Amino acid sequence: MFFRWDWLRPQLTAPIVPTLGPIHPDALSVGLFEDILRAADTGDFLPYDKDRRWGGEKNEKVLREDVVHQRGRTLIPTLMRRGRGTVKVFAYALPDSVVDEATELAAKLAARHDVVNARVVRPLGPEAAHSRGTRIQLKDFTADTCPAPDGPVRSVTDWPAAVQETFAPFAESMAADGLAFLHTQMQAGRCGPVLAAAVENRIVGAIGPMDVRPDAIGRAQLLPQYFAVLPETRGQGLGRVLWRAAMHWGQCHGAAYQLLQTEVGGPSDKLCLSEGLISLGFSHTTHV
């Protein structure tokens, strides 16, 4: 075993695991960290990796030979070859001084692997006074009922054909939010249903894909979705209706929980907080 849990556990101020992302606190274990090291050798998806649903090969892997694991600090670098390439160094430590060491390591590894981007990812606890970065939020489906909302939301395939045809231009206009990628997966039949809101026979918002899969300890997790509403139709409550429809779908399909990452202060962040989700901590990324 490479990792010592008595060293690593006190440093996990937020439940984030490299290459896997946010993890339910109940599933967080030294075994997850050992698994990502083994996956670095094989290049395979772990059985509970949320990215497995897209098929293909795992794009991000741990640079296991460059991991720093000592009492008081752990640095875990990863490499992605997509695009112009990215090195990330996940810095687990209580003192802020670890950021300087992580920054130096990220720059060195980016040069060694000839990639353009180098970043330091710093998990921070839920008590952190944090005005930027990403918030990790938990929706617990066992805590209360998620009723079906009233509103113009259906699965894309349940809308009339003329309305369905408006999804493509909507997705293209919201490419920055991942909807264009989602549309390609829908066309290839590689993902679950997508819920869409339509106004005057035109799709103006969507959330999906809807997919429930077991996590590392076998609990049913509603996987993260792409979520967007056209800017010109915001302020009408459509985002909240879409969100509640997705939560209703997840609960009806047996999900125990969902984990989300939202930009601090952004529309999705404010929506989730207003819907009573639990904040598990933050992730702050610095570009080197």
Q: Tell me: the pLDDT tens digits for 65-74?
A: 999 999 999 9
Q: pLDDT (tens digit, 9 = 90+) per residue, 130-182?
A: 667 899 999 999 999 999 999 999 999 999 999 999 999 999 999 999 999 99
| Domains in the chain: boundaries | 5-135, 143-255
Query: Rounded to an integer, what distance in angstroms lies between the CA atom of residue 44 and that of residue 190?
Result: 18
Residue 136, amino acid: I
Query: Rounded to an integer, what distance in angstroms lies between the CA atom of residue 213 and that of residue 48?
Result: 8
Check residue 32 and give its pLDDT: 96
Check residue 47 and give its pLDDT: 93
**Confidence at 39, pLDDT banded by 50, 70, 90:** very high
Kindly list the distances between the CA atom of residue 7 and the CA atoms of 56, 77, 128, in Å, as whole numbers in the listed order.
35, 18, 21
Check residue 1 and give its pLDDT: 73
Mean pLDDT value across residues 196-213:
96
pTM: 0.91
In this structure, which CATH number among 3.40.640.10, 3.40.630.30, 3.40.50.880, 3.10.105.10 belongs to the domain 143-255? Answer: 3.40.630.30
Q: Phi first, then psi: give them for residue 109, nearest 5 degrees.
A: -70, -35
Query: Rounded to an integer, what distance in angstroms lies between the CA atom of residue 154 and that of residue 157?
Result: 8
**Measured torsion, CA atoms of residues 17, 23, 29, 33, in degrees rounded to the nearest 10:** -20
Q: pLDDT (tens digit, 9 = 90+) per residue, 205-262?
A: 999 999 999 999 999 999 999 999 999 998 889 999 999 999 999 999 999 999 999 9
Check residue 172 and give its pLDDT: 97
Nearest to 280 by CA among 19, 28, 18: 28
**Confidence at 129, pLDDT banded by 50, 70, 90:** low
Kindly list the distances between the CA atom of residue 216 and the CA atoms of 44, 54, 78, in Å, as whole numbers in the listed order.
16, 18, 21
Query: Rounded to an integer, what distance in angstroms lies between the CA atom of residue 195 and that of residue 245?
Result: 8
